Homo-oligomer: A and B are copies of this chain.
Amino acid sequence: MPQLRKDPISGRWVIIASERSKRPDDFRGNSEPKPEAPAAFCPFCAGNESKTPPEVYSLRTPGTLPDQEGWRVRVVPNKFPALARGGQSERFQKGVYEAMSGLGVHEVVIETPDHGLEVSDLSLAHLQEVIETFQARITSIEAEHQYQYVQVFKNKGREAGASLSHPHSQIVATPIIPKRIKEELYGAERLFKKYQECVFCRIIKQETAARERLIEQNGHFCGLAPFASRFPFEMQVFPFRHSSHFTDMSREEVQDLAAVLKSVLTKLKKVLADPPYNLVLHQTPNPNITGGEWPGLSKDFHWHLEILPVLTRVAGFEYGTGFYINPVPPEAAAEFLSAEKTS
């Protein structure tokens, strides 16, 4: 089983992933990205359902069977999970160090049976189904009452960490609330006290009024280039309505999210010639088990998506300081992106 270990000074947790354990030879000459697996061997393609662990969820044509063709969106456990279900949860203390068993969930959401498409190519109706699949899996995993945080993310392209090019996202549920999320929660709580208002709501108002970093908006959602963007062409997508959790979207809101997401990803693709990117969801911890710990949470925090194009390298200065150097002002990025036609 994987092990979670805590750095005593910073409080940062790492996953020592024994299931993926590697020897030095696995890394020799390995810093160059590998070519993605050719489509012929893709375990995520329609017809290759037997190459993945059995599905835990799918949206499929009525009458078709699980782990057979006929699906539109399919969710399977990760074959090489970073964290795994089952087993006893144990905490270890050894001198100054703390560790715990790596219990968790690691699933793959295969977003389409068609290898050649990508998320921005999907129809709005299909993209809504992908979003509803995320909602369904988050709800189901949170109902297990064991995992404090559910992280949805997407790595697109080799440079962004994808080992398969077939469109997919991942879901990892962790037994503790990650440090990065705690920082955001504390920051949001502090700023709510200062402003007597959700700081994200305030940012959304300021940005949609100023418009200099606004990329896209419709009835329920907007896409921004954040004021303190770490990376060139970084984007954030916010719901206008204050809401702390991704599962709390109406059907209408899901439709508008699909539209904004398709638009900003299409713009990104056109402006930057199909760059690799990471997409991550930020939401509040599992409401089933953290209600007590974070009393003001649902009023303080505002869920959002971050889209991080992989165009520059994180290097020594960033690792040393946590500072990022960004050579593209977000105002310039927003200007290029918002000018791009998406149809």
Contact = CB atoms under 8 A, between A and B. Distances in A.
Interface of A: 3, 5-18, 20-24, 27-33, 82, 95-97, 149, 151, 153-155, 157, 159-162, 170, 172, 174, 178-181, 183-184, 187-188, 191, 195, 199-200, 202-203, 206, 226-230, 232-233, 271-273, 275-276, 278-282, 306, 308-311, 313-317, 319-330, 332, 336
A261 to B, nearest CB: 15
A330 B5 CA distance: 11
Contacts of A200: 9
Given A9-B184, A272-B24, A322-B180, A314 B151 contact: no
Contacts of A13: 228, 323
Interface centre among A23, A180, A327 (most CB of B within 10 A): A327
Interface centre among A6, A10, A24, A195 (most CB of B within 10 A): A24
Contacts of A157: 31
Contacts of A311: 27, 30-31
How many copies of this chain does one complex carry?
A: 2
Contacts of A206: 95-97
24 contacts: A9-B200, A12-B228, A12-B324, A14-B229, A14-B323, A15-B324, A17-B327, A21-B328, A23-B332, A27-B233, A31-B157, A97-B228, A151-B317, A153-B315, A153-B316, A153-B320, A155-B315, A161-B316, A180-B320, A183-B322, A278-B315, A278-B319, A280-B316, A282-B320
Contacts of A96: 191, 195, 199, 202-203, 206
Nearest to A327: B20
A21 B174 contact: no
Contact of A11 (B11, B18, B161, B187): B187
A329 B14 contact: no
